[in-house]
Amino acid sequence: MRLDHLALTVADRERSAAFYAEHFGFAARVHEDDHLLILADTGGSLLTLSEGPVPDLPRTNHFGFSLSGPGEVRDRRVALQQAGVEEAEWQDDSMVRVQVFDPDGYRVELFARPD
């Protein structure tokens, strides 16, 4: 079983679409109407964006992307830092993971499971 889609309420759909396209590969627009913008990545995962008031979420709420290994997480972290993306958490020990904030304050995690 794999996660098929994630739906987020965002303040500005175009701003969020640009962020997720640049940093997470959600570049294909598969549906767009007055209420929803649905983006796809090359693996077939979908991200649905709708505009509205952004909820205030606890720090434990996040979603994550599993990468191929610790080196890829470290490389992606550097790229996110160079792009000025705000980092929320960093761990590099038994697990390598980084959490960043998207433009609306959602936490997005990149991680690699231990070998």
Residue 59 pLDDT more than 90?
Answer: no
pLDDT class of 1 with cuts at 50, 70, 90: low
In this prediction, residue 4 carries a pLDDT of 86
What CATH number has the domain spanning 1-52? 2.60.40.4320
Domain-wise residue ranges, the chain: 1-52, 62-115
Strand intervals (E) in 21-71: 28-32, 37-40, 46-51, 62-66
Same fold, 1-52 and 62-115: no
11-57 pLDDT, tens digit each: 999 999 999 999 999 999 999 999 999 999 999 999 999 999 998 88
Strand partners, 101: 107
Is the CATH number of domain 62-115 1.10.760.10? no
Distance CA 36, CA 41 (A): 17
In this prediction, residue 10 carries a pLDDT of 97
